[in-house]
């Protein structure tokens, strides 16, 4: 990722990260609305969709997703950024392995993250491609950790 690309990511990220929990909640709500089986993995699986936005554990996961992305975007462009990204996302993958989150679920989330970022930041096609490149890199790390574990699907 070159420095123009890193700058673009950092600049556009300011918009969703200004309201982190709401941004994460918008992403998760889309995930559960479009792909409801993902909801089964969560302790709030029995809460109706229309009541989820006020549920504290729902809001906690929403905020956590954004925080992990924020940490990743902050390290971009610093010395050792690739290694740090590797650590951050291997940890996410590892803590999720006992929950048996499939690659398909991760990919569903990825598509929605890209859509919501594109809308929230009014990304044009080439800007969206830069974000896709970052997400592809992150997902390579997650999927490698899953494959190395040999346990998850």
Residues forming the site for ligand HEM (CB under 6 A): 38, 41-43, 57, 61, 64-65, 68, 92, 95-96, 99, 101, 105-106, 109
Within 8 A by CB and 6+ apart from 22, the residues are: none
Tokens of 95: 């803590």
* 23 vs 79 by CB, closer to ligand HEM: 23
Neighbours of 33 (CB within 10 A): 12
∠ at Cα 42 (36, 45), nearest 5°?
Answer: 60
CB of 58 to ligand HEM, least distance (A): 8
* 91 vs 122 by CB, closer to ligand HEM: 91
Within 8 A by CB and 6+ apart from 139, the residues are: 106, 107, 110
CB of 34 to ligand HEM, least distance (A): 12
* 14 vs 71 by CB, closer to ligand HEM: 71
* 34 vs 41 by CB, closer to ligand HEM: 41
Q: How far apart are CA 102 and CA 153, in angstroms?
A: 5
CB of 125 to ligand HEM, least distance (A): 24
Closest residue to ligand HEM, based on beta-carbon distance: 95
φ, ψ (nearest 5 deg) of residue 45: -60, -25
């Amino acid at each position: 990722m070159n420095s123009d690309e890193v700058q673009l990511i950092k600049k556009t990220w300011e918009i969703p990260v200004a309201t982190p929990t709401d941004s994460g909640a918008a992403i998760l709500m889309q995930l559960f609305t479009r792909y409801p089986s993902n909801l089964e993995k969560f302790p709030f699986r029995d809460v109706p969709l229309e009541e989820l936005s006020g549920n504290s554990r729902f809001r906690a996961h929403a905020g956590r997703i954004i925080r992990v992305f924020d940490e990743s975007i902050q390290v971009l462009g610093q010395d050792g950024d690739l290694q740090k990204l590797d650590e951050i996302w291997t940890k996410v993958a590892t803590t999720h392995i006992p929950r048996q989150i499939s690659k398909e679920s991760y990919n569903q989330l990825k598509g929605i993250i890209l859509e919501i970022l594109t809308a929230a930041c009014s990304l044009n096609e080439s800007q969206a491609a830069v974000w896709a490149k970052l997400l592809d890199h992150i997902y390579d790390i997650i999927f490698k950790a899953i494959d190395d574990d040999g346990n998850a699907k």
